[in-house]
Structure 1
Amino acid sequence: SLNIALLFNQNNTNGTHCPDQDTWEWLYAGQPVYIILLAVLGIAFNVFVLMVFCLHKKACTVAEIYLSNLAAADLVLVSCLPFWAVNISNGFNWPFGLFLCKVVNLGIKMNAYSSIYFLVLVSIDRYVALVHTMSHGRMRRPKYAKLGCLLMWSFGLLLSVPTLIFREVKYFPEFDVTACFLNYPNETLELFCDGMLIVFSFIIPFSIISFCTVKIIQALKIQAIERFSAEKTEQKATTLMLAVLLAFLICWVPFHVVTTLDVLLRAEVLGGCHLTTVLDICNQIFTYLAFFNSVLNPILYVIVGKNFRKKVQELFKQWSVKRTTSSESTRSNLSSTLKTVL
């Protein structure tokens, strides 16, 4: 995550003699522009996705409920990023106060963790639909999907409690910087919190997703061999789900691997000046690669999601009919008024 360690690295004050000043300059120069670009594209794309799901006349399917909540989580995450762009361009001086320091970072953390659990729900939904076809009618109901989403939002908030409690704004006179940073009371608690997050935000969900994906692929192969065709809607939803999962893994796995190595480094299981510098730089690069996933998901809905594209077309037709009806009604009222006047 973004914290005061960036500034310490920039000023070469991490207690070592690692020559990282030149290495960091190019990174800091490009970060604000990239973050703003992510935020603009992410907000526009995810608002579009939510509009399609919410305004379409047909009720959302179970899979669409999960994907709409994923889009909402992505939207909140990218909406918080401009604050960090300003923070970095301002030399890591946080100008927004303590409340926004906590809320902005809570939004980023909470929705990053909620996102992966919405994908867990999507994976389980596809697994039940294709592997346990006899029982999916009972289990795959919209009310259960909505309850599951509510639990995932709550779980994401629970995982983010340390961010809400320990984020502080503090002036560092030696650097002349007022920074928004994570200030754990001791290193043991910090390592414990980071370890818990690795387990609950990476190892457990990744294991569930991997199991479901393997079973889904096996089921699709068996269906192909037996020349058994599942419902087209199920096949299309599964294709989209696999594409979204692949994108998530490409974007997020490097971040979690680096985070795990960083925890091992701070626990003194690993060591070395060169490793510290490499992990610091990789942490920044892979953090923004992970955030790019929030922009990529809506693009995948359009490219891979045939049902989504169909919904978009139907929504535009729906709007076109309303405009035509409204225009004809206006003309009719105007005609009636003129007849009365004349």
Structure 2
Amino acid sequence: MQINDSSYKFRYVFIPVFYIIFFILGFISNLYVLFVLCCLRQAKAMGEIHIYMTNLTIADLLFVCALPFWIDYYMREGDWVYGDFMCRVTGTFFFINTYSTILFLAAISINRCWAVTRPLDAASSDRRICGIIVCICIWVFVLTMSVPFLVSPGINKHSKNNTDIRRCFEGYQNESKEKKKTVAVTNFLIIGLFFIVFLLIVMCNILISKTPNVTSTFKRPTGVKRRALQMLLAVVGVFVLCFLPHHIVQGPWALAVLEIVNYSETTRKLLSDTHQITLVLMGLNCILDPVVYYFATGKFRGLIKAHIKKIITCTQTQKISLIQHFEPNPISDKILSIL
């Protein structure tokens, strides 16, 4: 199965535009988040959730650093010029960002759910060690899953107008039947993992919403439950917008690309175009994750508000100084008139 090359045309127009936006906003926002988290660390205010946020920010920066290669790839109309090794590395970064983000967001959701539903246990225990262990497990798991992308050839060549075009992670037409079956099974296992995590996050929302504000032994501070629900709704929003479309389309798309199911030409083209759109939506997570952080903890919100207040204060001070500088001074004007 080889999809007509005209079906790829639209992606070379809109994907570079979106990836450029993601690169600029993602680089700035995630560096700022890393700065805020470093401030919290220096103030010895790093809790379990901040450890998850730090690791998630690092994962987002890995993806952002790979974006210039993908921007150039699509601007060249799908011709990879950086060699097979860089194809595998940048493709691996994309995979690592996607699934480490999904798992770290799940860890953040479980942490907030624990804090709301079991406040006394959460307040009386030092969860930082637990956070470090969970992060190590997530990185080991995701890196292990990404090994096949790093060790297998990433470039597929095909001719176009008597010229060799090098596609990066596009197409499995030349693979053996056994390899295609392995790839298909791997894809569906990953899709299953996503829906398990998504269901877990939805369950966290339900548990928090059903938790009373007052129990027989503890009265929850005002707004804690509301803020936790806001954060979890933001996480669900990121999942629905960024990840859910891809994991719905990924299965049928994989079956089409692997030639396991013989779809019609129209269906193959629709799956190919839709799959590219879902990849762009997944890239959006690198600029939406900082929004989740804002709802995650009061300390993080407090530092951001303090920075914004400081910027506004400095701006107003500079404005007052400029006004005073240019205000007419009667004594100076009189001296100048004499001179």
Give the TM interval when normalised to the shorter protein: 0.7 to 0.9
Partner of 1:213: 205
Paired residue for 1:177? Answer: 165
Closer, same or farther: CA 27–10 of 1 in aligned 2, 3 Å: farther
Structure with higher Rg: it is: 2
**Conserved? CA contact 1:111–1:156, under 8 Å:** no
2:106 paired with 1:115? no
Q: 1:39 to 1:10 in 2, by over 3 A?
A: farther
Name the counterpart of 1:52. 36
Residue 161 of structure 1 aligns with which residue?
A: 147
Is the contact between residue 120 and residue 208 of structure 1 (CA under 8 Å) also seen in structure 2?
Answer: yes
Say which SS state the counterpart of residue 185 (structure 2) adopts. Answer: helix
Letter in 1 for 2:190: L
Q: Quickly say closer, same or farther: Cα 1:313–1:10, change in 2 above 3 A.
A: same
Give distance in 2, aligned partners of 1:96 and 1:106: 15
Q: Does the CA contact (< 8 Å) of 2:19 and 2:71 recur in 1?
A: yes
**1:238: Cα distance to partner?**
4.6
Cα deviations across residues 103-139 of structure 1 (Å, max 9, x unaligned)?
1111110121111000111121122222233433466
- Mapped to 2, the partners of 1:140 and 1:39 lie a distance apart of 36
Distance 1:276 1:308, change over 3 A: same
1:282 is aligned to 274
TM-score, normalised with respect to structure 2 = 0.77
Contact 2:53 2:293 in 1 (8 A): no
Partner of 1:223: 213
Q: Is the 8 A contact 1:169 1:181 kept in 2?
A: yes
Aligned to 1:254: 245
Partners of 2:49 and 2:205 in 1: CA distance: 15
| Count of aligned pairs between the two proteins | 299
Matching residue of 1:91: 77
**Structure 1 residues 63 and 134, CA gap change in structure 2 (3 angstroms):** same
**1:160–1:283 distance in 2 versus 1, CA, 3 Å:** same
Uncovered stretches (5+) of structure 1, i.e. residues with no partner: 12-20, 320-342
Distance 1:130 1:306 in 2: 14
Structure 1 SS opposite 2:60: helix
Q: Which runs of 5+ in 2 are unaligned?
A: 312-339
Offset of residue 168 of structure 1: 2.8
Secondary structure, in 3 states, of the residue corresponding to 2:119? coil
Aligned to 2:3: 9
Q: Which residue type is aligned with residue 194 of structure 1?
A: N
Offset of 1:164 from its aligned partner? 1.1
2:30–2:290 contact (8 Å) kept in structure 1: yes
Structure 1 residues 180 and 267: alpha-carbon distance in aligned structure 2, compared to 1, 3 A threshold: closer
Counterpart of 1:101 in structure 2 is: 87
What is the distance in 1 between the residues matched to 2:48 and 2:181? 42
Q: Deviations over 1:170-213 (max 9, x none)?
A: 5434552133336555211121221222122x122112222222
Deviations 1:82-104 (A, max 9, x none): 11111111232212122211111
Q: Which residue of 2 aligns with 1:33?
A: 17
Partner residue of 2:192 out of 186, 199, 220:
199
Secondary structure at the residue paired with 1:91? coil
Distance 1:26 1:44 in 2: 28
- C-alpha separation in 2, matches of 1:305 and 1:133: 15
**2:333 aligned partner:** none
Deviation at residue 48 of structure 1 after TM alignment:
0.6
Q: Give the TM-score of the pair, scaled to structure 1.
A: 0.77
Work out whether residues 159 and 197 of structure 1, in 8 Å CA contact, stay in contact via their aligned partners in 2. Answer: no
Of 127, 131, 143 in structure 1, the residue corresponding to residue 129 of structure 2 is 143
Does 2:226 match 1:240?
Answer: no
**For the aligned residues, what is the CA RMSD?**
3.0
Taking only the aligned residue pairs, the percentage that are identical comes to 27
